[in-house]
A and B are shown apart, each in its own frame.
Chain A
Amino acid sequence: MLTVPTNRRAFLAAAAGGALGGLLPASLLHAQPNNGKTLTIVLPSNPITIDPINQLNHDAMVLGQTVFENLVEYDVDGVLKPQLAKALPVISADKKTYTFDLRDDVTFHNGKKMTAEDVKYSFDYLLDPANKAARRSLFTRITKVTVLDPLKVQFDLSEPYGPWLYFLTKYMGIYPAGSRKEHGDDYFKSRPAGVGTGFGIFEEWKPNDYISFKKNPNYWRKGLPHWDRLVVKMIPEDATRVAYLLTGQVDLISAPPPREFNRLKTMPGITGASRPTLGGALLMYTNNLKAPFDDVNFRKAVSAAIDRKTIGEKVYYGLLDPSSVPAPARGWWFNAEADKELGFDLDKAKALLAKSKYATGAEFDLSIQAEPYLLDTKDAAIFVQAQLAKIGIKVNLKVYEFSVLIQQAIRGEHQAALQVFMSPGEPSYIMQVCLTPEQVLSKSTGYNNPEFNQTLAAAFAETEEAKLKEAYGKLQALAARDAPLGVLGYVHASNLWRQTVQDVKVNQGLTIAPGEIKV
C-alpha cells in the first residue's frame, strides 16, 4: 500500500527523490527522438523567408527547394537537368527563344494540376518590378512568356543569355496562377502551404527554432521522399550543432566547424563528406581605382605572394580548393595556365613589386567579416597579412559586420576586402558581377575592360560546352593578365550525418538536398 510521508523531512526527501526519478528515465527519451520517419537536419543560420523569388542565404534555400520546383534543376553534381519540364528546352537558332514541354503528371500541394498558365503566371510575377523580387535582375532579359498549349511554354529573350537556366534552382519557383494575389507575399514568405509542387508540404514555422514539412504523397517522382516529415532546425552555435548530432537529436548538419570536420566524421555512428562548390569563392575584392591596387604589377605581386595551397590545407583543413582565377579548379571551364600565372611564386612577387609604382613597399587596409560564413575569413586574413609582409607590404586588418563590409564593397569605399562569396555555381556569375560595369559589385574592383565585356557577352550566346570552355578560358586569361580581382580558392560544402540515414549527397551548390535521403 502506498504511504504518504507525513513529517516534513520525509516529505521533502520523497519529493526530491520523485523529481529526480522522474527526470532520469525521461531523459533517455532524448537518445532516440528520431524514431518513425522524421528526417531532422540543421542549418547554421536563421532564415528570413521561404519565398523562392527572394532567396539570399544558400543554406536556407533548402526551405524553398523543398516546397517549390522549377522547369529545370541545377543539381547536386552541377548538372542541368529537366525538373517540371519533360526535357531541357529547345533553343532557337538565334538563341533568343526557349521552348519547354511540361510534364503532365505534376500537381500542386493544393491538388491543382500544374500547367503552362502557372509557369507564365510565376514568371510574369517575378518580372513585374512592382513585386520587388530580390533576384529579378537575373531574369530581366526575358521579355515575354507565352503559353503555346496547356503543356508547352515559350520564353522570348531580348538578347542571347544562356545562364538564366542555371539560376532557376536557387532564385525561382513555380506556383499556381493567381496564388500571389489570393494569399499575399507574407504567405509565401512564412507559411507557403499548398502553393508548391515539391517533395515537402509546408507544415509549421516556429521562429528561432525549426521549420517543418510533411511528405507530399502525390509527388510526381514516385517513391520520393523516403521520409514522412522533414524538420529543419536552426542552430547557430557550432559546438551545439555538433552536440545535437552526437546525441542523436538530429540526423544531418551542414557547415560543421572545419577544424573538427575530419575528426568528427570518423566518430562512431557518424559519417560525413565534403565536395568543392562550383560557386563559393574566397574572394579578395581589390579596388583597382584606389592606391596601391591601381597598379597592375602591384596587384599581381599580391597574388603571387599568397600561398593558396597552404591556406587550403593548413588554415582550412582541406575545405578550400586553391584557385587564383574566378573559376573552381574542378570546374570544366577552369583555365590552369591562367591560374598558374597568378599562382604562388615569392621571387616573382618580389620582381613584380619592384616593377610597380610601389617598389619600396606599400600599406593597405583589408576589410574582413566579423561573423564567419562557411569559413572564418579572419584565419586566412592573418595568413595573408604575414605572407605579404615578406615582400614588404603592410596589411592592416579591419573587421566589419557582413552588412557593413558588403556595403563598402558595393560603393567601392574599401581598398581590399576578403569575403566568401556564394554564387549559383554557374561559370559566368562571379566574373559578371565583379568584373563588368553596372553590376552590383562592379565597384568592388572598379574593373572595366571592353575586351572582357565583349567576350562575356559572346559567351552568353553560346550553348555548346566546348565553345563555352574556350570563352570562359579567355576570360580567365584576361583576369590573369590584369589581376583585377583577388581569388584565393573555392570552398567545400560539407555535411555530417548519422549512419542511420543513407543516400546523402553533398550538394556542390551548398544547399542540403533532402529529397532523396533515406531515414
Chain B
Amino acid sequence: MLRLVAGRIVSSIGTLLFVGLALFALTRSGPGSPARIVLGADATAEQIVQFEQAHGLDRPFLSQYAAWLGDVVRGDFGKSFVTGRNVATDIVSALPVTLSIVLFAFAIALVCGVGIGVLAALRPGGAFDRVSRFAAVLGLSIPAFWLGIVLIRFLAVDLRLLPPGGYFPLSAGLSLHLQSILMPSLSLAVYYIAVLARMTQASLQETLRGDYVRTARAMGLSSRQVVFYALVNALPPVINLAALSFGYMFGWALIIEQVFNIPGLSRALLNAISQRDFLLLQGIVFLFTAIFVFANLGADLINRVLDPRQRAAA
C-alpha cells in the first residue's frame, strides 16, 4: 500500500512538472507582451526592449523555465512585473477567499447531490425520482453566471436579504462571512448537485440490483442496513466524480468571482491573463493544477480504503 501511495505521489509530481512546462510554453506563446500592458499603447519599441531585458523575457525559453521552477521549489513565485507585488503574497491572500467559496460549494454539492441521489434511487419511478430528474436537467442546463446574476437581482437588489457581492472573511464574523459566500457557492454548486445526484442514483440503483443485496435482504438485514452497505459499495464512482468536480470548481470560480466581485484567486487569475502577468498567471494555474492532481490522488486513496478488492490488490 505504502509503495503504491509513493508511486502515485511521484506520478502526480511528474504531472505537475509537465503541466508547469506546458503552462510556461502557453503563456509565452500567446500574442501580446506584458511590456505593452505596463508601458502603454504608445510606448516606444526601445522602451519595450528595455523592459523585456530588465525582466528576463528575452532569455531562451528553457532557461526561463528552469529558473522559474528552481524558484518555485524554494517557495519563491517571483515578483509580478506588472503590479510589482510579490506573487506568493498575492496568492496567499487570495487563496482563503476562493477556498472558502469552493469548499462551501463542494459541501453543498456533496450533501445535496448524494442525498437527492440516494432518495431517488430508493423509489425508482416514484414522484421524488421524477422531480429530481427534472431538477437535474435544469441544474445541468442553467449557466452558473446567469444563475448568479438572477440571484443578485432577487436576493440582493429586490429582497435585500444578502449583499450583491464582495467578500467578508471569517474574522469579520460568521454571519457576514456566510452571507458573502452563500450566493456564489450556491451558483457554483447547482451544476455539481445535479451531476452528483445523477451519478449517485445510477450507481446505487446498480448496486441495489446486485445478488449480494438480495442475499442480505433474504438474511433478514433491515432495509436501512442494506441501503447502507449498498451505498458504501456504490460510492467509488461518486467519489471519483466528486474529486474531479472539486478540481473543476476552481475553474468555474473564475466566472463566479467575477460576477460576485470576489477578490479571490480566480479573479486574480483573470486579471493576470488580461494584463499578461506571466508570473502570477503561472503561479495560480500551477496551484490549481496541484489542487486538481492531489484531489484525484485523495479520491484514489479513499477508494482503496472503501473497496476491499483494491485493498487486496495493493
Interface flag for B225 (CB, 8 Å) = no
CB–CB B149/A239 < 8 A: yes
Interface string of B144-186 (1 = CB under 8 A from A): 0000010011001100111111110000011110110000000
Q: Give the docked Cα–Cα distance between A30 and B163 (Å).
A: 6
CB–CB B271/A247 < 8 A: no
Contacts of A407 in B (CB 8 A): 31-33, 36
Interface string of B42-63 (1 = CB under 8 A from A): 1110010011000000000000
Q: Nearest Cβ distance between residue B276 and chain A, in whole angstroms? A: 6
Identify which of A137, A233, A243, A441 contacts B153 (C-beta below 8 A).
Answer: A243
Across the two chains, which residue of chain B brings its CB closest to A403? B32
Interface flag for A94 (CB, 8 Å) = no
Interface flag for A271 (CB, 8 Å) = no
Contacts of B82 in A (CB 8 A): 48
Q: Nearest Cβ distance between residue A50 and chain B, in whole angstroms? A: 11
Q: Nearest Cβ distance between residue B59 and chain A, in whole angstroms? A: 20
Identify which of B149, B162, B263, B276 contacts A209 (C-beta below 8 A).
Answer: B263
CB–CB B36/A403 < 8 A: yes
CB–CB A22/B263 < 8 A: no
Identify which of B47, B153, B178, B275 contacts A23 (C-beta below 8 A).
Answer: B178
Q: A23-B175, A208-B263 are in contact. Are A403 and B85 (CB under 8 A)?
A: no
Task: Scan residues 268-323 of chain A and give those whose CB is less than 8 A from a CB of chain B.
Answer: none
Task: Scan residues 7-55 of chain B and give those whose CB is less than 8 A from a CB of chain A.
Answer: 31-33, 36-44, 47, 50-51
Interface flag for A149 (CB, 8 Å) = no
Interface flag for A406 (CB, 8 Å) = yes
CB–CB A26/B179 < 8 A: yes
Interface flag for B240 (CB, 8 Å) = no
CB–CB B261/A23 < 8 A: no
Identify which of A19, A240, A401 contacts B259 (C-beta below 8 A).
Answer: A240
Interface flag for A347 (CB, 8 Å) = no
CB–CB B41/A410 < 8 A: yes
Across the two chains, which residue of chain A brings its CB closest to B165? A240
Q: Nearest Cβ distance between residue B177 and chain A, in whole angstroms? A: 10
Q: Give the docked Cα–Cα distance between A208 and B173 (Å).
A: 22
The interface centre, meaning the residue of A54, A247, A371 with most chain B CB atoms within 10 A of its CB, is A247
Q: Give the docked Cα–Cα distance between A209 and B31 (Å).
A: 28
Identify which of A22, A134, A190, A246 contacts B40 (C-beta below 8 A).
Answer: A134
Contacts of A209 in B (CB 8 A): 166-167, 263
CB–CB A23/B179 < 8 A: yes
Contacts of A206 in B (CB 8 A): 263
Q: A240-B259, A401-B32 are in contact. Are A207 and B85 (CB under 8 A)?
A: yes
Interface string of B130-144 (1 = CB under 8 A from A): 000000000000000
Interface flag for A404 (CB, 8 Å) = yes
CB–CB A208/B268 < 8 A: yes
Q: Give the docked Cα–Cα distance between A31 and B259 (Å).
A: 20
Task: Scan residues 258-293 of chain B and give those whose CB is less than 8 A from a CB of chain A.
Answer: 258-261, 263-264, 267-268, 271, 274-276
Interface flag for B90 (CB, 8 Å) = yes
Task: Scan residues 104-147 of chain A and give those whose CB is less than 8 A from a CB of chain B.
Answer: 132, 134-135, 137
CB–CB A371/B274 < 8 A: yes
Interface flag for A186 (CB, 8 Å) = yes
Interface flag for B84 (CB, 8 Å) = yes
Across the two chains, which residue of chain A brings its CB closest to B174? A22
Q: A26-B173, A240-B259 are in contact. Are A404 and B31 (CB under 8 A)?
A: yes
Q: Give the docked Cα–Cα distance between A433 and B40 (Å).
A: 14
CB–CB B276/A235 < 8 A: no
Q: Give the docked Cα–Cα distance between A137 and B230 (Å).
A: 74
Contacts of B149 in A (CB 8 A): 239
Interface flag for B310 (CB, 8 Å) = no
The interface centre, meaning the residue of A26, A135, A208, A433 with most chain B CB atoms within 10 A of its CB, is A208
Interface flag for B64 (CB, 8 Å) = no
Interface string of A368-411 (1 = CB under 8 A from B): 00010000000000000000000000000000011110110010
Which 7 pairs between the two chains have the least Cβ-Cβ distance?
A403-B32, A440-B42, A209-B263, A243-B164, A208-B263, A26-B175, A56-B40
Q: Given A23-B178, A235-B261, 18 more contacts at CB 8 Å? A: A30-B160, A48-B275, A190-B83, A190-B84, A207-B93, A208-B268, A208-B271, A236-B258, A240-B152, A244-B261, A247-B156, A247-B160, A371-B274, A402-B274, A407-B33, A440-B41, A440-B44, A441-B41
